[in-house]
Amino acid sequence: MKKLLAVASMVALLAGCASTPKEEPKAAVEDRTPTTVAPTQPARSTVAPVTPRAEQQPNPLKDPKNILSKRSLYYDYDKYDVKDEYKPLLQAHARYLTQNRNAKMLIQGNCDERGSREYNIALGQKRSDGVKKMLLLMGAQENQLESVSLGEEKPRCTDSTEVCYSQNRRSDVLYGGEY
Amino acid sequence: MRYFLASIGLLLALLTASAQAQLSIEITGGGANQIPIGVLRFVGEEALAQRISDIVEADLQRSGRFRMLFAGSVEPLPSEAAQVNFGDWKNRNADALVIGSVVRLADGRFEARFRLLDVPKQTQIGGVAFTLTAQQVRTTAHRIADFVYEKLTGDRGVFSTRIAYVVKQGSRYELQIADADGVGAQTALASREPIMSPAWSPDGARLAYVSFENKKPVVYVHSLVSGQRQAVANFKGSNSAPAWSSDGKQLAVVLSKDGGSQIYLIGADGSNPRRLTNSGSIDTEPFFAPDGQSIYFTSDRGGSPQIYRMGASGGEVARVSFDGSYNVSPRVSGDGKTLVYIARDGGRFQLKSLDLASKQGQVLTDGQHDESPSFAPNGKMILYATQVGNRGSLAAVSSDGGVKQRLSVQAADVREPAWGPFINN
């Protein structure tokens, strides 16, 4: 078991995903970044890359300079419409999803703590559904997207203040392997 | 005076601390027309680990429907009606008296007998004998309290029922089940992800709930007998808000698989999902009326969240709540006559009741963040979640608003209470 974990963390390092583990470190490896090129299948017709791409340039999803590393949209109280300021962000993610048809995305809607927990699940769902609808219009495919709600159950900020509430009224977009 | 109160508060806090992780109950306010009653020590009950009379007395007191008369100094203790000095109790304005005795049987078990006496008439109202093991003291005492409560109030007692709730401690969530007095808590499920919306099956053998262990809400049904559980609604999107049908064969759930949060009916094993609502709005928090004929739910189809009612298989929808701009979490009493729900008034969320026949409404609580109401099976108390000092806590209020209780656990967030059904034994 210890060995396995060691290997897993090595792979994670190679993949360049070691920073900011979001939830469980186990999920750090995914299909989106080719970590190693199998030496047994050199591609004849193309110039085979000698080193994994991830080591040459940062993963666009993780690169803080890339808009794709931005993952959160915020909302006003009791509102679920995507604000205009987030449209360029969603356009960038829609483009990525269009160019990477294997990429999958989970959209999590969140609410502040006020009101019924179950109603907040529905409200969070309305937020994530709104993001999903927009990504579909921008070219992403249904089978790439799942919109869910965490309601008020996973607050990023836990004080009962408007500053906190506004951080918790949020949709997050996560790619396969990040949740 | 204030210093005096403060030191009482400190004392209560110390007592709570010694009660460890158990729910401790504090009663505030008393009901009108309380029945004055004396519960005498049972002859021979020192042989048990706990006094039956103490538990009976605490049960009756907690209900708010009795005024307990001090009965600690009676010498010698009567165990038969003929030994009771009725004149004394009459002078103290007692309406009723509970006396009893405990004897050890040859096989190591015990026999507990009690008698409920009518003081003004100097007669016996009733009495029962129980055979119990040393571990069944609390169960027996609750059954005695149920008997006394029913004989004197005409309503069935709920002291033998159980409650479920969720405890959050740090990043750990536990679904716990305890006796109605908060004692004997057991953990049915522990998780590092949130658990919410527990709902008891009508037979009390299963709990449906929502767990986020798969990073999204999924509805499970958990057998309390075997400990086995099954994901019964795990569709694409969110799955939440389980509510049992009156016969325990079906669940109403809220699914977003077809876009938006809509109400569906599924078998208790997750089979055969059927869509009940068809709106472009939020439809959630279904709750079956006890006659099984209709479902109450929350919807924002009118522009703000309000309570609606529809047939148990869908169809025509009628609006039930009208006052205010945020009315959610409908629950109906066992007799089908009273609706309770959470209403937002200004920035506060409070428990309200509505008499469904007369449309008479009443505000029952005065908290800031009251939520998740749950009727006791006799309809006389409503358990709900509240916040005390930024921490979740449970509270209960009588259906007339007169009696209030607070249930709290030391150093933990308690939420999502669900009062279990009557247990038939």
Share of chain B above pLDDT 70, in %: 92
Predicted pLDDT of residue A95: 98
The domain spans of chain B are: 23-153, 162-419
Chain B touched by A106 (CB under 8 Å): yes
Residues in chain A within 8 Å Cβ distance of B282: 119, 122-123, 125-126
Q: How far apart are CA B132 and CA B50, in angstroms?
A: 13
Lowest mean pLDDT among B25-34, B140-149, B301-310: B25-34
- Asked if A94 has any chain B CB less than 8 Å from its own CB, the reply is no
Same domain, A12 and A91: no
Q: Which residue of B has its CA nearest to A107?
A: B237
Residues A73 and A52 placed together within one structural domain of the fold: no
- A103 located within any domain: yes
Say if residue A144 is in the same domain as residue A91. yes
- Cβ(B317)–Cβ(B308) under 8 Å? yes
For A133, counting Cβ atoms within 10 Å of its Cβ (0-12 exposed, 13-18 middle, 19+ buried), the class is middle
Of B375, B210, B216, the residue nearest B287 (C-alpha) = B375
Q: Is the pLDDT of residue A138 over 50?
A: yes
Residues of the domain holding A11: 2-37+48-56
Across the interface, do A115 and B328 touch by the CB < 8 Å criterion? yes
Same domain, A131 and A81: yes
Helix, strand, or coil here: B10? helix
Tens of pLDDT, residue by residue over B117-129, are 999 999 999 999 9
| Separation CA B306–CA B285 (nearest Å) | 11
**How many CA atoms, within 13 angstroms, populate the side-chain half-sphere of residue B123?**
3
Residues A87 and A52 in one domain: no
Specify the amino acid at residue B68: M
Q: Does A115 touch chain B (CB under 8 A)?
A: yes
Tell me: do A88 and A165 sit in the same domain: yes
For the segment B71-77, the average pLDDT, to the nearest whole number, is: 83
Q: Choose among A114, A118, A160: nearest Cβ to B285.
A: A118
Give me the mean pLDDT over the B136-141 stretch. Answer: 97
Q: Are B409 and B176 in contact (CB under 8 A)?
A: no
Q: What is the pLDDT of residue B2?
A: 40
* Residue among B240, B259, B284 whose CB faces A129 most closely: B259
* Token pair recorded at residue B47: 């042989």
pLDDT greater than 60 at residue A37: no
Give residue ranges of B with CB < 8 Å to any A CB: 194, 196-197, 210, 212, 215-217, 236-238, 240-241, 254, 256, 259-261, 282-285, 298, 305, 326, 328-329, 342, 344, 347, 349, 369, 371-372, 390, 415-416
CA B40-B42-B48 angle, to 5 degrees, is 135
Nearest CB to A117 within list B254, B259, B372: B372
Question: Would you call B256 and A108 a contact, using CB atoms and an 8 Å cutoff?
Answer: no
Contacts of B259 in chain A (CB under 8 A): 129
SS3 A143: helix
CATH label of the domain that carries residue A144? 3.30.1330.60
> Among all residues of chain B, which has the CA nearest to that of A146?
B237
Q: A129 pLDDT exceeds 90?
A: yes
Quick one: average pLDDT of B75-95? 93
Residue of A104, A119, A127, A150 to mutate, interface with B, max B Cβ within 10 Å: A119
Q: What CATH topology corresponds to B23-153?
A: Rossmann fold (3.40.50)
Dump pLDDT digits (tens) for B386-418. Answer: 998 888 999 999 999 988 988 877 778 999 999
Q: Are residues A78 and A52 in the same domain?
A: no
Q: Are residues A33 and A81 in the same domain?
A: no
The fourth-level CATH superfamily of domain B162-419 is TolB, C-terminal domain (2.120.10.30)
**What residues of chain B lie within 8 A of the CB of A113, using their CB?**
369
Q: Do B241 and A114 touch (CB under 8 A)?
A: no
| Res B17 pLDDT > 90 | no
For chain A, positions 18-77, list CB contacts with chain B under 8 A: 23
- Total domains in chain A come to 2
Q: Position of tokens 């740090």?
A: B170
> Quick one: B153 exposed, middle or buried, by C-beta within 10 A (0-12, 13-18, 19+)?
middle
* Whether A123 and A79 share a structural domain: yes
Please judge whether A129 and B416 are an interchain contact, meaning their C-beta atoms are less than 8 angstroms apart. Answer: no
Which residue in B202, B197, B188, B203 sits closest to B217, CA to CA?
B197
Go through chain B and tell me how many residues it has: 425
With residue B398 as reference, give the H or E element that holds it.
Answer: strand B391-398
- Answer yes or no: do B260 and A129 touch at CB < 8 A: yes
> Which two structure tokens, joined as six digits, stand for B244?
């049992």
Q: What is the mean pLDDT of residues B288-300?
A: 97
Minimal Cβ distance to A122: which of B216, B254, B349: B254
Residue B320 has pLDDT above 70, yes or no: yes
* pLDDT for A143 beyond 90: yes
Q: Greater confidence, A8 or B315?
A: B315
pTM for this entry:
0.85
Q: What are phi and psi of B199, to 5 degrees?
A: -140, 125
Same domain, A52 and A86: no
Q: Are residues A101 and A149 in the same domain?
A: yes
- Chain B residue with Cα closest to A158: B390
pLDDT, mean of residues B139-168: 97
The pLDDT tens digits of the residues spanning B199-238 come to 999 999 999 999 999 999 999 999 999 999 999 999 999 9
Q: Which residues of chain B lie closer than 8 angstroms to A179, CB-CB? A: 215
- Give the DSSP per-residue string, A45-110: SS---SS-HHHHS--TTT-TTSGGG--EEE--TT--SPPGGGHHHHHHHHHHHHH-TT--EEEEEE
Per-residue confidence at A18, pLDDT binned at 50, 70, 90?
very low
Q: Which of B97, B155, B38, B94 is nearest to B400 (CA)?
A: B155
Q: What angle do CA B397, B403, B409 make, to 5 degrees?
A: 60
Q: Is A7 part of any domain?
A: yes
Average pLDDT for chain B = 91
A156, A87: one domain: yes
Give the ipTM of the model, two decimals please.
0.90
pLDDT at B73 over 80: no
CA angle B62, B68, B70 (to 5 degrees): 135
> Does the beta carbon of A92 lie under 8 angstroms from any beta carbon of chain B?
no
Which positions in chain A touch B416 (Cβ < 8 Å)? 117
Q: What is the reported pLDDT for B305?
A: 97
Residue in A118, A124, A153 nearest the CB of B241:
A118
